[in-house]
Amino acid sequence: MAATRSDLFACLDELGIAHSTLDHAPVFTVEEGEEIKASLPGGHTKNLFLKDRKGRFVLVSALGDTPIRVNRLHKLIPCHRLSFAREGDLQAALGVRPGSVTAFALMNDVAGQVTFVIDAALLATDPVNFHPLKNDATTAIARDDLLKFAKATGHDPLIVDFAALAADD
């Protein structure tokens, strides 16, 4: 069974990770969240759930305005060419629905089947903001605590410079 927001907050508390949450109307795209972002400090994210042709899953967390060249990402991380995963895969691996993809969903990947990739530019911001498992709120944590959370869930993140990938033409 997938974790709830309460489960997430209990996990963060247990790890000693300070967090603050703003409830808001559901948002499904980076653009829809612009007004919300204006009132919250830190890095605001976009999160992509991808699958390579061998069936391996990748969760990418990046700054909302970072261009991500999905068709070239496989050159930087250990996988084959990537495409967007299906909704059923998303729910099975991370326990969330489209529009609610978030690094916090790593707590649902108890099988360790998801590779976690973080945008280097996101780690240059503090705090970082993610949906708390549903897209009707935004939760902020310190950037170092994002790494702590990921490692506590069994995911040693790969840090990728997406700006360099976009510039590599």
Q: What is the 3-state secondary structure (H, E, C) of the chain?
A: CCCCHHHHHHHHHHCCCCCEEEECCCCCCCHHHHHHHHCCCCEEEEEEEEEECCCCEEEEEEECCCCCCHHHHCCCCCCCCEEECCHHHHHHHHCCCCCCCCHHHHHHCCCCCEEEEEECCHHHCCCEEECCCCCCEEEEECHHHHHHHHHHCCCCCEEECHHHHHHCC
Split at pLDDT 50, 70, 90, the class of 168 is low
13 — pLDDT class (breaks 50, 70, 90): very high
Confidence bin at 86 (pLDDT 50/70/90): very high
Name the average pLDDT for the chain.
92
CATH placement of domain 5-167: 3.90.960.10
Across 18-27, average pLDDT = 92
Q: Where are the domains of the chain?
A: 5-167
